[in-house]
Amino acid sequence: MSFDNLMLSEKLQNTLTSLGYNTPTPIQQQAIPILRQGKDLIATSQTGTGKTASFVLPMLENISETQEIKLGDQRYKIDALILVSTRELALQIHNNIEKYAKAFTHQSIALYGGVKLGGQVKQIRAGANIVVATTGRLLDHLRNGTVNLSAVQMVVIDEADKLLEMGFINDVRVIISQLPKKRQSSMFSATFPPAIKNLGKSLLSKPISISIDPDNMETQKVNQMVHHINEEQKAPLLSFLIRSKSWKQVLVFVNTKHQANALVVQLIQDGLTASAIHGDKSQKARNHALQQFKEKKISVLVATDVVARGIDITNLPHVINFELPLKNEDYIHRIGRTGRAKHQGEAISLICKKEIEQLKEIEIMINKTLPAITTESFNYTDTPPPMKEKKGVDLKKAKALAQKMMKKDEIGQSRSKIPKKGRGTQRHF
């Protein structure tokens, strides 16, 4: 199938060709015609499947064909709203919209917390057709009267299960109550627990359901492996793997912000370039770390599950589970950061004794036994090898830098800057 068959204009198809999109992904094949016809949609969708374009492309076309908001004279009104759970995802979707909307005049903006309201108000005042927002920040703007949802024609709830998990579902309900009755709505979620089904009932009208065959999931292209190792040897093994294999871009998942910070210190001490990304870092620091990583200015990004979903890093070759996630389903989201869009990826989970039972559960979940690998030249003794000063690495400097970063982390506690109102009960990643 080509994009020709999906009710998209020639100018949009030209943009897609220029981006190297020749064939629509399965979710795009199914979702685009439904949304182009103005119907409501409920989609079971995994990460990395081309989901963003599946709702953004019809959104761009539909806005063009209706009485769209005239920019600069709209009293904070917008045409379309996309609700997401994390700031990174808001920015990523916004960036994708800008890419896809090259042939249109539509303006998109991202509204998320951790930055001042003022700049965002200015942007909305200048005019926005599409708003991509995290729930808490959107509620702040609604309270301020700096966003008006009365003209919204289309609303998308992305990763609904993540919004539920992070405690934002009531915020979503408040936002839905502000939308006009006549609108097109769609909801995307990887799982459908009762709370999400109920949300769907209040959001959607006669929705069409689609589900992407797991055989088509991008995670099939991820070469998954496990590496059994003592807990205290995980960090030395990680440094060894990165160095000996000359990996240039590795995303490492841990479960807590403390672990993330500690591991970054260790990696820097081992002479690698690394940064951490987690919920307690200021938004500026999070964006900076992600950007540095995307541009390959640092080779290791240590992350908590705050970035396990949705985030797209082009051609990311390696994901490491330094520890298995707190929730088994996050395993799929984590490894889905690699092997995206036709590229092969590799995901290695470092498994210590206490994680073996959980590994079995994950293997049952993904219906696959993961092959175990060993690293021949690694020193598998019980005690971590003493830290050696590497040629070209100033250990003193590395330690000072690591300590500075830890300090910065403590100062950069962005959570306190987010207005309390509108914040759900969040998990502390």
Between residue 190 and residue 249, which ones bind ligand AMP under the rule CB under 6 A?
Answer: none
The backbone torsions φ and ψ at residue 157, rounded to the nearest 5 degrees and listed phi first, read -105, 115
Q: How far apart are CA 334 and CA 313, in angstroms?
A: 12
Q: Please identify, using beta-carbon distances, which residue of 103 and 393 lies nearer to ligand AMP.
A: 103
**Tokens standing for residue 59:** 């959104």
Buried residues in 174-186 as b, exposed as e (16+ CB within 10 A): ebbeebeeebbbb
Closest contact distance (angstroms) between CB of 302 and ligand AMP is 22
Tell me which residue has tokens 């005019």. 127
Closest by Cα among 203, 125, 130 to 163: 203
Q: Does 312 bind ligand AMP (CB under 6 A)?
A: yes
Of 271, 340, 345, 350, the one binding ligand AMP by CB under 6 A? 340
Closest by Cα among 114, 113, 96 to 311: 96
**Tokens standing for residue 169:** 């579902």
CB-side neighbour CA atoms (13 Å) of 421: 8
Q: Does 49 bind ligand AMP (CB under 6 A)?
A: yes
Considering only the stretches 50-58, 164-172, 349-357, 409-417, report the one whose residues sit in contact with ligand AMP under the rule CB under 6 A: 50-58
Q: Does 279 bind ligand AMP (CB under 6 A)?
A: no
Considering only the stretches 6-14, 51-59, 76-84, 384-392, report the one whose residues sit in contact with ligand AMP under the rule CB under 6 A: 51-59
Of 29, 40, 48, 168, the one binding ligand AMP by CB under 6 A? 48
Q: Please identify, using beta-carbon distances, which residue of 25 and 321 lies nearer to ligand AMP.
A: 25
Residues facing 345 on adjacent strands: 222
For 213, counting Cβ atoms within 10 Å of its Cβ (0-12 exposed, 13-18 middle, 19+ buried), the class is exposed
Q: How far apart are CA 275 and CA 293, in angstroms?
A: 8
Of 6, 12, 15, 25, the one binding ligand AMP by CB under 6 A? 25
Closest contact distance (angstroms) between CB of 59 and ligand AMP is 13
DSSP characters over 170-229 = HHHHHHHHTS-SS-EEEEEES---HHHHHHHHHH-SSPEEEE--GGG-GGGGEEEEEEE-
Q: Please identify, using beta-carbon distances, which residue of 24 and 345 lies nearer to ligand AMP.
A: 24
Distances 35 to 30, 50, 200, 209 between C-alpha atoms, Å = 9, 15, 16, 12
Q: Please identify, using beta-carbon distances, which residue of 49 and 135 lies nearer to ligand AMP.
A: 49
CB 125: neighbour CB atoms within 10 A? Answer: 13
Distances 106 to 9, 128, 132, 244, 287 between C-alpha atoms, Å = 15, 7, 13, 48, 25
Q: How far apart are CA 285 and CA 239, in angstroms?
A: 24
Q: Does 338 bind ligand AMP (CB under 6 A)?
A: no
Q: Please identify, using beta-carbon distances, which residue of 341 and 370 lies nearer to ligand AMP.
A: 341
Q: Please identify, using beta-carbon distances, which residue of 43 and 402 lies nearer to ligand AMP.
A: 43
Considering only the stretches 42-50, 76-84, 201-209, 295-303, report the one whose residues sit in contact with ligand AMP under the rule CB under 6 A: 42-50
Closest contact distance (angstroms) between CB of 413 and ligand AMP is 29
Tell me which residue has tokens 């995290």. 134
Residues facing 148 on adjacent strands: 77
Q: Please identify, using beta-carbon distances, which residue of 79 and 88 lies nearer to ligand AMP.
A: 88
Q: Does 114 bind ligand AMP (CB under 6 A)?
A: no
Closest contact distance (angstroms) between CB of 153 and ligand AMP is 22
Closest contact distance (angstroms) between CB of 49 and ligand AMP is 5
Closest contact distance (angstroms) between CB of 163 and ligand AMP is 17
Closest contact distance (angstroms) between CB of 377 and ligand AMP is 35
Between residue 53 and residue 112, which ones bind ligand AMP under the rule CB under 6 A?
Answer: 53
Closest contact distance (angstroms) between CB of 395 and ligand AMP is 38
Of 12, 31, 35, 50, the one binding ligand AMP by CB under 6 A? 50
Q: Please identify, using beta-carbon distances, which residue of 253 and 322 lies nearer to ligand AMP.
A: 253
Q: Does 26 bind ligand AMP (CB under 6 A)?
A: no
The site for ligand AMP (CB under 6 A) is made up of: 21, 23-25, 28, 48-53, 312, 314, 340-341
